Structure 1
Amino acid sequence: MNPTYLEYAANGFYLLAVFLAARNSIHTWWLGIIGCALFSLLFYQVKLYAEVLLMLFFIATNVIGWYQWGRARGIKQVSTTPLLRLAGYAALALLVTALYGTMLHRFTDAYAPFVDSAILMFSVIAQFLLMNRKLETWWFWLIVNTLAVPLYFSRELQLTAVVYTGFWFNAWYGWYLWRRLNAAQHSGV
């Protein structure tokens, strides 16, 4: 399958949105809305139904994130999440992955329902952490991108797989930048 105009457009908008998220830019949100809408159509075409649901979730949370980051008062600084809470998030993601993956496996013609579901669940957690400017968002995006790259290659979405490889590196860069922001906030710089 050759990349379609839809795949090019979805990746273009989403690539820019993810790039700007690592740089703590509010423009990540509206670009993300466009990219996610295009990706939802693409993923439906290749029977990655959990990814479609994820993109619809991202559209809604991009609207909320855009609002939260754009408020004049009460703007959240980059902060950290307690380790026990992160472990709870990961456990919840694994449980829901198993349940939703089983449902997709039994009741649909979904391709790779458990990997698809894991990407969905870890992305949901990563998105909530991103919306709240939590440093650990980047750990969850690393998990998501590590799972997504081989899945997209297996569905012959080579362009998307290559872009998500770039997202993997961007997640490391985002973690680095946000860690520096968090340290600067605590040192009063």
Structure 2
Amino acid sequence: MFEFFFSQYKDYQTYDVVLEIIAVFLGIASVWYAKKDNILVFPTGMVSTFIYVYLLWKWTLWGDMMINFYYFTMSIYGWYCWTRKKGDNLEFPISVISDTEKRMSLFIFIFTVAFVVAVYLYFNKFNTWYAYVDTFVTGIFFIGMWLMAKRKIENWVFWIVGDLVSIPLYFAKGLTFTSFQYIVFTIVAVYGYLEWKKTLNSSPADLKKL
């Protein structure tokens, strides 16, 4: 059993494995803080994604590297949004997605998928089955991160879908620890949605329509 899950690590350098484990723990911490609607979601996530950018660049997993670079930059934007206030009230409270944001989400998905396809074609990376899945997952995660930065409850739906797909995807890529991380991500994302839903239901009606 151990050989089945971890044999791919025999050719990895020790410090890369250690870095992946650190990134996994910080990634789980980040999702947990997101579930709790805690601003620490961003600094923990930024360190985790910074490590993954390095590792994925080294392992030439371009789609995953772009996802994590995007997470890093969007974390800066999300950190800014979550700290904004109008008087004593948050400028971006937990709310539902608007029609304009739905259209923007569709645009983000289409643009992201097209961009990743172009990159993979340029570097001739469509040589495995999971390279094709990468294009879809990248678009899903880009929407999820953007909606989380805007504190939209629907972000959890996109995280859940992307996380479920990523569990076998990362295992196939030889990143077993990261695959296990996405199992935890999926569970926390479900509870995150339920917790944000509870907060939203207890909010004033005008906030729900933002």
TM-score (norm 1): 0.87
How far off is 1:109 after superposition? 4.4
Confirm or deny: 8 A CA contact 1:126 1:138 kept in the other structure.
yes
1:64 aligns with 2:82: no
| Counterpart pick for 2:175 among 139, 157, 163 | 157
Tell me, what secondary structure is at the counterpart of 1:4?
helix
Distance in structure 2 (CA, Å) of the matches to 1:134 and 1:117: 23
Aligned to 1:46: 59
How far off is 1:90 after superposition? 4.3
Look up the equivalent residue of 2:70 and give its one-letter code.
Answer: F
How far off is 1:49 after superposition? 0.4
| Counterpart pick for 2:194 among 168, 173, 176 | 176
Q: Deviations over 1:55-91 (max 9, x none)?
A: 1111111112112212343512211114785377347
1:10 aligns with 2:23: yes
Tell me, what secondary structure is at the counterpart of 2:38?
coil
1:143 aligns with 2:161: yes
Distance in structure 2 (CA, Å) of the matches to 1:72 and 1:96: 31
Aligned to 2:115: 100
1:166 aligns with 2:184: yes
Q: 1:78-93, aligned counterparts within 5 Å?
A: 78-82=94-98, 86=102, 89-90=105-106, 93=109
Instruction: After superposing the two structures, state which structure 1 stretch, 131-140 or 67-76, moved more.
Output: 67-76
Confirm or deny: 8 A CA contact 1:48 1:116 kept in the other structure.
no
Number of residues of Structure 1 aligned to a counterpart in Structure 2: 187
Unaligned runs of 5+ in 2: 1-7, 10-15
Distance in structure 2 (CA, Å) of the matches to 1:58 and 1:96: 13
1:31 aligns with 2:36: no
Confirm or deny: 8 A CA contact 2:109 2:139 kept in the other structure.
yes
Unaligned runs of 5+ in 1: none
Distance in structure 1 (CA, Å) of the matches to 2:154 and 2:60: 30
| Identity level (%) | 20
How far off is 1:12 after superposition? 1.3
Look up the equivalent residue of 1:159 and give its one-letter code.
Answer: F
Distance in structure 2 (CA, Å) of the matches to 1:178 and 1:165: 20
| Higher gyration radius (CA) | 2
Change (3 A) 1:84 1:57: closer
Confirm or deny: 8 A CA contact 1:104 1:113 kept in the other structure.
no
TM-score (norm 2): 0.79
Change (3 A) 1:135 1:156: same
